[in-house]
Amino acid sequence: MHRRAGDARRVGDVEQTGGTGGSTQKHYGYLFPLLSARQRVVSVDLAQPVPTGGTLTVEHLGKQVAAVIEAVLPGQAVTLVGYSLGSVVAAAVAARHPELVRNLVLVAGWITADTQQKLRNKVWQQLRKEGSSALGEYTAFCAFGGPFLALAHLEELALTFKSLAPDHFYDLQMALNQTVDISELIPGIKATTLVVGCTHDQMVPVRHSKALFGAIPDARYAKIASGHAVVFERPGQLVQIIDQFNASPSRHAAGSIVPADSP
């Protein structure tokens, strides 16, 4: 499933894919309408491609993204935006299908799951198995940055906890998260790339974004003072960074640090 909005005659075409358990409504509720004010935007809502209890792979999800690009924008290369697990998928698509991806934006992504990520995932899996009522709180604790949570109220976060209830597809994605390894694909990315790291990220610590920045030949790097849930904490700043990059991808040379002014 995909959604589209915006005028193709403006800046350029953007395709976006969200993170674990995400959708256009859940992860791009703020970004989708704002980005589509300046360019045509196609947002992919990933579908469960394997049966419950099966093994989900990055390639399964990448095929869906590539298929949407080819169906909606035939013969065109796009700016592909990925967030969290969507960033892993976007990087893989860019490496496998360079003809489809002209520019690439990787937000809070990673190359290979490390021990910190696997430990967090293991705790999540145990809470999920036990049917613990603390699962939502634990997920929110990991997703939001410390400075954001310090100013929030538990009552305000209650709705967030409820919205984090996982389904079977969510379970498959969580299993995939702890086995991610796209290290062999990364050197093959030819797209002009912007890597966005989140300085207070506990789910995918910012070192992973820095590793992507260092591994992709034509990459530049921007950082946002946010936790992993940057699409909720700092959506305005993220839109600004993506907009500016899509308007002029090579404005900042490969290997440079992009100034990130807070709007």
pLDDT digits (tens, 9 = 90+) for 195-240: 999 999 999 999 999 999 999 999 999 999 999 999 989 999 999 9
- Rounded Cα–Cα distance for residues 212 and 187 (Å): 10
pLDDT confidence tier of residue 15, bands split at 50, 70 and 90: low
Tell which residue, 256, 176, 182, 174, has the closest CA to residue 213. Answer: 256
- Rounded Cα–Cα distance for residues 219 and 208 (Å): 14
pLDDT confidence tier of residue 24, bands split at 50, 70 and 90: low
Taking each helix axis as running N to C, give the angle between helix 168-177 and helix 115-130, from 0 to 180 degrees, rounded to the nearest 10: 150
Is 70 exceeded by the pLDDT of residue 248? yes
What three-state secondary structure class fits 140?
Answer: helix
Is 50 exceeded by the pLDDT of residue 167? yes
pLDDT of 263 reads 38
pLDDT confidence tier of residue 23, bands split at 50, 70 and 90: low
pLDDT of 165 reads 74
State how far the alpha carbon of 201 is from the alpha carbons of 54, 60, 163, 173, 260, in Å.
29, 26, 20, 19, 17
State how far the alpha carbon of 233 is from the alpha carbons of 14, 86, 190, 238, 239, in Å.
22, 18, 31, 10, 12
The structural domains of the chain, ordered by start, are 2-115+174-247 (3.40.50.1820)
pLDDT confidence tier of residue 54, bands split at 50, 70 and 90: very high
pLDDT of 6 reads 42
Least confident stretch, 156-160, 161-165, 166-170: 161-165
pLDDT confidence tier of residue 188, bands split at 50, 70 and 90: very high
What three-state secondary structure class fits 173?
Answer: helix
pLDDT digits (tens, 9 = 90+) for 81-126: 999 999 999 999 999 999 999 999 999 999 999 999 999 999 999 9
pLDDT digits (tens, 9 = 90+) for 114-145: 999 999 999 999 999 999 988 988 998 999 99
pLDDT confidence tier of residue 164, bands split at 50, 70 and 90: low
